Structure 1
């Protein structure tokens, strides 16, 4: 008997932590409404941009990284948008639009009404994956 993952505040899926593609795909499948298809597209763009990308779910968020070099990006679902965290976002050109309390992190908030700029997103992913990652 399968059961749907519980959605936490803002609709963020509660997925058991794990290192691999499987928990990330479970998270994406559980994203509510329009967010699941956008999540699939984001995941696909990251996989295309960074062959062999490392994936995990930690703290109910998918993380993307480079083997041996930490994490460069994570996702989190909120009620009205998907928040993409670039952990070294201040070093990206151009710098992603949303500031963070963390000095280096910058965010991109993806909303249903604003199409994702896939070329810019892919460029940020390639830049971010080449920088030293966060170890957490």
Structure 2
């Protein structure tokens, strides 16, 4: 008997840790409202840009990695936006718009009212996938 995942504050789904496509699909399915479509589209863009991308859910956030060395990006749902964290974001050109307390990390916040620039996002994903990953 399956039950719906809990939603954490901000509406981020609480998904058990796991590796591969299945936990990502569970995260997308449990994401509420307009954010589900955003997360689903982000996952598709990442998969298209980096065909051999590695996927996992840790700490209730999807993670994406290239090669064997760490993770280059994560997603997290908040009340008013989906946060994309580029772990080596200061190395991307141009840099994603939102700074972080972590020196190299940069964020992209995607809200319901502002459309995603898919070309810029895909370019950032390709750049990020070629950089050393974050170990987690």
TM range (shorter): over 0.9
Q: CA–CA distance in 1 between the matches of 2:67 and 2:133?
A: 10
2:57 is aligned to 57
Moved over 2 A (4+): none
User: How well do the aligned residues superpose, as a CA RMSD in angstroms?
Assistant: 0.6
Unaligned 5+ segments in structure 1 are: none
Q: CA–CA distance in 2 between the matches of 1:126 and 1:53?
A: 11
Q: CA–CA distance in 1 between the matches of 2:84 and 2:28?
A: 13
Q: Does 1:6 align with 2:6?
A: yes
What per-residue deviation string (whole Å, max 9, x for no partner) do you get for residues 81-135 of structure 1?
0000000000000000000000000000000000000000000000000000001
2:35 is aligned to 35
How many angstroms does 1:67 deviate by? 2.8
Matches within 5 A, 1:55-94: 55-94=55-94
Q: CA–CA distance in 2 between the matches of 1:28 and 1:73?
A: 16
What per-residue deviation string (whole Å, max 9, x for no partner) do you get for residues 21-49 of structure 1?
10011001111100001111000000000
1:111 is aligned to 111
Q: CA–CA distance in 2 between the matches of 1:61 and 1:33?
A: 17
TM-score normalized by the length of structure 1 = 0.98
Provide the aligned length of Structure 1 versus Structure 2. Answer: 136
Q: CA–CA distance in 1 between the matches of 2:126 and 2:66?
A: 11
Q: 3-state SS of the aligned residue for 1:71? A: coil
